[in-house]
Amino acid sequence: MSETRAPTPTERGGAGGESVRRFLARPAAPALAFLAVLLVAFTLANDRFLTASNLESIVDSVAVLGIIALAVNQVILCAEIDISTGSMLGLCAIAAGAVSLSTGGILLPLLAGVAVGALAGAINGALVTLGRIPAIIVTLGMLYALRGVILLVTGGTWITGVPEPTRFLGTGKVLGISVPVLILFGLFLVMELVNRHSTWGRNVFAVGGNRVAARFAGLPVNRVRFVAFTLVGVFVGIASMIYLGRAGSVQTNTGVGLELQAVAAVVIGGTSISGGRGSSLAALTGAVLIGVILNGLILMGVPGIWQDAVLGGLILLAVTTDVLRRRLVGDKA
Amino acid sequence: MLRRAWLPKALRATLLAVLVLAVAACGVGQQGPSQGGGGGGGPNKICMMPKLVGIPYFNASEQGANEAAKEVDVDLVYDGPTEAKAALQSQMIEQFIQQQCDAITVAANDPNALAPAMKKADNAGIATGAWDADVAKDARDVFVNQATFEAIGYELVDVMAEQTGGKGEFLVVTGSLTAPNQVAWLKEMRERMEEKYPEMSIASVEPGEEDLQLGIDITKNYLQAHPDTAGVFGITSVALPGAAEAVEQIGRAGEVPVTGLSTPNEMKPYIESGAVKKFVLWNPVDLGYLAVYVANAQVEDKLPKSGTFKAGRLGEVKLLAEDEVLLGPPIVFSKANIDQYDF
Amino acid sequence: MSALVGTMRSLKFSRELVLLGVLIALIVVMTLLDPLFLTPITMLNTSRFFVEVGLMALGMTLIIITGGIDLSVGSNLALVSVAVGFSFAAGLPLPLAILFGLVVGVAAGLFNGLFITLLNVHPLVVTLGTLALFQGLAYGISKAQAVSDFPGWFAYFGQAYLGPIPGQLFIFVMAVAVVWVILSRTSFGRYVYAIGNNEEAARFSGVPIRKVKLALYSGIGLLVGMAAVIYTSRVYTARGDSGVGLELDVISAVVLGGASIYGGSGTIGGTVLGVLIIATLRNGLILAGVPSTWQLFVLGVLLLAAVFVNEFFRKGEE
């Protein structure tokens, strides 16, 4: 307590001091604590909750959300936002699904999904950086425009009968663990490494923390943000293959509402909406938290119509906790 | 400074004007073949509205409607909101009125919400009707019904009873807990079980909200929490494939019978894999076809008040009441006949 | 300084002229596609649909001028609709139920305002959360059911005509006048612009920022409540899914009308023209037989185009 230390990079928590305090200062700490409490509570309420298969099925069901949240996390870290991911997922799933109907296999549909996603993400990025349109407006407009594209392109018909091999990314198992879970954790590790060790990954925090200062420091602010938006598209493309596998077909309303859940996951997990503070662990925790809560609600028999209210309440709770925590800890991230 | 300010301002203004018009023109370039042309003379204009556009069931009815429109030589406008919301339908009905339709027939998301708009249409001299899902009785002149609630409910239970020896506790996955037709089917199902299969009962009704992934997850969660469930009913075209998929994913296909209401194209993979042996529906293509015939007959004042009515290739179709036309008995789809259908 | 003010004035003036031009051009195009469009009946009917969006857009204009935003207006409308319908169904006399609904609307707006001012949370994320919260409450309380058996006089809000003119148009015109006066003729209005131009400077100048913002978010809550009553009356049903997605139209109208999303500029006149343009577009497309699947796409692109033109060239002038 009487040690002096250099200003800490706030996203990594405090340096020095007890490791517990360091842990508590991590962005994801409150969410992890809340998750632990919930796991205990649900287990007490229903003994079927803590079985390995139920837990795996929870993580499995949030794989799509989690992967998208990992990427949206980067956008929010840049102090931007993306609420177009739901329509993006629908469009990518349709592209991947359509390709799988003619070519089968995994690679080509995956490439199709990722390509479409990357294109949509790039459009978002270009409009925000070059067009200088606020991200909330860009992604709001794209949310509707892409949904319109889905309806126009499909003419309302669904994609059904996706071949079995294509569905591997959604329903397969490797070494006994379900593939979506593996992909989710794999991408989580990748993003952690990127944020710690790559130039772009570190720049994201700088740009989000103080864009003007970052610009003066010579950082390629526009390029950093553009890459973040495009990354969302790529991850949505990957997630669409998982969706395709799990659902086996694509409807015109696939993905509706997902964009809100993705932002909720990131914010609830502990990444700050004002940018510059957060982590991939926060995004992952937030997604799992949402999955646990929704799963718990179903098990407790709470009617599905209350889901939105719960989600909204959680966002507000997370935001309030963040503000209170900042006031207590005293940093002005 | 002042002079320089004008240039981008004028440019900005012009650009905005051009963009707005271009966007409008883009949309307008997609006009359907039928345009508003006025009421008198020329072919009758039939305006038909599904619950929503963009799902296979209503695409199938559009197919049938188009077929009938060609046969009786009418101007068909088939359009609906992109979400199954009554308020959007209400607004569209008012716009149909402005388009001077001769007849308006609608598949209602909410029977009461559409009543004011339909009454307005009636006052404007437009023939009013409903199909697939009825509006309030005093808000339309005729209802084209695909199958009675009783026939559907009974058939569903009979199909399931066949596969489960007439006993057990069942899960029903529905769309929304308040959709009138789904509520009516549940009532008939319960009645049939009471009367004919007293050892069958419905243990739970879960709403899938027309979301495929949600339907899959709900079914999986339920079956894992209640492994003794004897079978699953999926009573909407989204709930049934979801239930079948769920049963397959937990590896109990064939062991836990699944049946319900859905369209053949969506169900073909599950019929082939054996997860679903039989399921029930009517022919939405025929339903759309019939709705156009009925609407046209209304405009021409040729619709009888009882007995039967000749509707093109469907032959003589029965009138259940002065204001209700029945398509026919439900169809049971199975491996034997599913390849005959493409919708 | 006066030259700057002069430029600013002529800036606003010419922008509204351009919007008027666009509106006229749109009407011409729509009429060419469907001659029925230009009949007074059709035009007046169009106005029945845009009053709800218009009322909300008035409040949204002021919020956007301060650099804020409110994404929850659509869900708030649903909540008020449910509040009116279900309190009536539970036995409350309809006039009280309507009052209750208005109170709910204001309370919801105040809820937003408190989060934004007391906790200093960005309006974007607060209203994203309340978008979900209000929607969920509307669904949950209504249990996805609807209330339709209102007494006949309830229809007057949304379906009445005074002569050939729809009743709600009068309400809208009055609201426009009131909000316009507030924005351009009172010190409150000056505060709004001041906050939008530079919040820190405004704070130092003694502008009561917190009170202004609370008033703005509660104020839009009142407008949402009014819009909800009119909407519920027009479709004659109180449902939990009313108004979903309306925030797109509202924000598009304000932005189309010339307000900068970063704050500091915007006018009521521009917003009204923005509302008219969107309503003409929506109604005209349907009348011309354009399938509704195109409307989503068109409106999304329109929003992007409008803001693009707005911001890209505005920044170029700085």
Q: Tell me whether residues B224 and A54 touch, CB distance under 8 A.
A: yes
Q: How far apart are CA B9 and CA B79, in angstroms?
A: 41
User: Inter-chain contact C294–B20, Cβ cutoff 8 Å?
Assistant: no
What pLDDT, on the 0 to 100 scale, is given for residue A279?
Answer: 92
User: Any idea what the Cα angle at residue C203 is, between residues C198 and C205, rounded to 5°?
Assistant: 95
Predicted local distance difference test score (pLDDT) of residue C14: 64
Cβ contact B210–A253 (<8 Å): yes
Our CA-based measurement puts residue C153 at a distance from the nearest CA of chain A, in whole angstroms, of 32
Is the CB of residue B49 less than 8 Å from the CB of residue B296? no
Give the separation between CA C150 and CA C78, rounded to whole angstroms: 17
Measured between CB atoms, which of A160, A171, A304 is closest to B266?
A160
Mean pLDDT lowest for which of A319-333, B51-65, C46-60, C253-267? Answer: A319-333
Which residues in chain C have Cβ-Cβ distances shorter than 8 Å to A274?
122
The tens digit of pLDDT for each residue in A54-63 reads 777 788 888 9
Out of A54, A57, A252, the one facing B54 most closely (by C-beta) is: A252
CA distance A17 to A29: 16
pLDDT tens, position by position, C269-313:
999 999 988 888 887 777 777 777 787 788 788 778 777 776 665
What is the rounded distance in angstroms from the CA atom of residue A54 to the CA atom of residue A64?
Answer: 17
pLDDT confidence of residue A2: 42
Q: Judge whether B148 is closer than 8 Å to chain A, CB to CB.
A: no
Most trustworthy range by pLDDT among A7-21, A102-116, A254-268, B179-193: A102-116
Nearest-Cα residue of chain C relative to residue B47: C289
At A254, the pLDDT band (50, 70, 90 cuts) reads: confident
Q: From B182, B153, B146, select the one nearest B285 (Cα to Cα).
A: B146
Q: Angle C179-C180-C186 (CA atoms, 0-180°, nearest 5)?
A: 90
**B273 contacts chain A (CB < 8 A):** no
Sequence-ordered list of residues with C-beta below 8 angstroms from that of A106, at least 6 positions apart, any chain: A165, A166, A168, A169, A241
Identify the DSSP state of A156: T
pLDDT of residue A266: 93
Chain B: give the shortest CA distance to residue C70, in Å.
23
The predicted structure's pLDDT at residue B63: 92
B183 touches chain A (CB under 8 A): no
Distance from the Cα of C69 to chain B's closest Cα (Å) equals 23
Residue B278 has φ and ψ, to the nearest 5°, of -140, 150
Q: How far is A188 from A280, CA to CA, in rounded Å?
A: 7
Kindly give, in sequence order, each residue whose CB lies less than 8 Å from that of residue B73, ignoring residues fewer than 6 positions away. B43
* Domain residue ranges in chain C: 45-244+259-266
Tell which of B19, B51, B55, B228 to mutate to test the A interface (max A CBs under 10 Å). Answer: B55
* 3-state secondary structure string across B266-333: HHHHHHHHCCCCEEEECCHHHHHHHHHHHHHHHHCCCCCCCCEEECHHHCEEEEEECCEEECCCCEEE
Cβ contact, residue pair B221, A295, below 8 Å: yes
Give the CA distances from residue B301 to residues A193, B123, B126, in Å, rounded to whole numbers and listed in that order.
Answer: 74, 17, 12
Q: Give the model's pLDDT for residue B30.
A: 43
DSSP string, A66-77: HHHHHHHHHHHH
Q: Using CB atoms within 10 Å of the CB of residue C114, give its burial: 0 to 12 exposed, 13 to 18 middle, 19+ buried.
A: middle
Chains touching C, CB cut-off 8 Å, 3+ pairs: A, B
CATH topology of domain A50-267+277-320: ABC transporter involved in vitamin B12 uptake, BtuC (1.10.3470)
Query: Residues of chain A with pLDDT > 70: what percent?
Result: 89
Q: Which amino acid is at B183?
A: V
Place of tokens 């008027």: C20
Where would I find the H helices in A11-106?
19-25, 29-45, 52-61, 63-77, 85-103
Percentage of chain C surpassing pLDDT 70? 91
Residues of A in contact with B55 (CB under 8 A): 156, 158, 251-252
Contact B94 C45 (CB under 8 A): yes
The ipTM assigned to this model is 0.78
Chain C residues with CB-CB distance to A260 below 8 A: 128, 131-132
Find the angle CA(C273)-CA(C274)-CA(C280) to the nearest 5 degrees. Answer: 85
CA C307 from centroid of its chain's CA atoms: 17
- For the cut 80, the answer to whether the pLDDT of residue A136 exceeds it is yes
Single-letter amino acid, residue C177: A
Of A158, A161, A304, the CB nearest to B269: A161
In angstroms, the separation between the Cα of residue B2 and the nearest Cα of chain C is: 7
Residue B44 CB: number of other CB atoms within 10 A?
Answer: 21
Angle at B36 between CA B30 and CA B42, to 5 degrees: 125
Query: To the nearest whole angstrom, how far is the Cα of A171 from the nearest Cα of chain B?
Result: 8
State how far the alpha carbon of B343 is from the alpha carbons of B76, B98, B166, C276, C308, in Å. 20, 33, 31, 41, 43
Instruction: Per-residue pLDDT tens, chain B, 343 aa: give them.
Output: 444 444 455 555 556 656 666 655 554 444 433 333 344 567 899 999 999 888 888 889 999 999 999 999 999 999 998 888 887 888 889 888 888 899 999 999 888 888 888 998 999 999 999 999 889 888 999 999 988 889 999 999 999 999 998 889 999 999 877 677 888 899 999 999 999 999 999 988 888 877 788 888 889 888 887 889 999 999 988 899 999 999 988 889 889 999 999 888 889 989 988 899 999 999 999 999 999 999 999 999 888 888 888 888 988 888 888 899 999 889 999 999 988 888 8
Task: Band the pLDDT of C45: cuts 50, 70, 90.
Answer: confident
Q: What mean pLDDT comes out for the span A203-216?
A: 91
Q: Do B34 and C289 touch (CB under 8 A)?
A: yes
Does B158 contact chain A (CB < 8 Å)?
A: no
Kindly list the residues from chain C whose CB atom is less than 8 angstroms away from the CB atom of residue A263: 125, 128
**pLDDT class for C250, splitting at 50, 70, 90?**
very high
**CA C41 to chain centroid:** 24
Smallest Cα distance from A7 to chain B, Å = 46
Q: Angle at CA C221, nearest 5°, toward B87 and C189?
A: 130
Q: Inform me whether the pLDDT recorded for C70 exceeds 90.
A: yes
Which chain B residues have a beta carbon less than 8 Å from that of C159? 116
Tokens of C281: 């577009």
What local confidence, expressed as pLDDT, does residue C4 receive? 59
Query: What are the residues whose beta carbons fall under 8 Å from the beta carbon of B195, sequence distance 6 or more?
Result: none
State mean pLDDT over C145-168. 76
pTM of the entire structure?
A: 0.81
Chain B residues closer than 8 Å to C316 by CB: 8
Tell me which residue in C129, C295, C301 faces A141 most closely, judged by beta carbons.
C301
Grade residue C227 by pLDDT with cuts at 50, 70 and 90.
Answer: very high
| Residue C263 near residue C64 (C-beta atoms within 8 A) | yes
Task: State the pLDDT at residue B121.
Answer: 92
CB contact under 8 A, C301 and A260: no
**pLDDT band, residue A327 (cuts 50/70/90):** confident
Mark yes or no for CB contact B12/C144 under 8 Å: no
Query: In this complex, do A251 and B269 lie within 8 Å of one another by their Cβ atoms?
Result: no
Going by their DSSP bridges, the two strands C165-166 and C161-162 should be labelled as: antiparallel
- Distance CA(A328)–CA(A314), nearest Å, equals 21
Per-residue pLDDT tens over the stretch A154-167: 887 888 888 888 88
What's phi and psi for A263, nearest 5 deg?
A: -65, -40
Residue B157: closest CA among B21, B242, B261, B65: B261
> For testing the chain A interface, which of B78, B204, B213 should be mutated: the one with the most A CBs within 10 Å?
B213
CB contact under 8 A, B90 and C235: yes
Report helix, strand or coil for A18: coil
Q: Tell me how close the Cα of C6 comes to any Cα of chain A, in angstroms.
A: 27
Q: How many Cβ atoms sit within 10 Å of the Cβ of residue C4?
A: 11
pLDDT at C3: 61
Q: Are B253 and B331 in contact (CB under 8 A)?
A: no
Which amino acid type is present at position C239?
Answer: R
The shortest CB-CB distance from A140 to any of C134, C294, C303 is to C303
Q: Tell me the C-alpha distance between C287 and C33, whole Å.
A: 9
Tell me if A308 and C139 make a contact (CB, 8 A cut-off).
yes
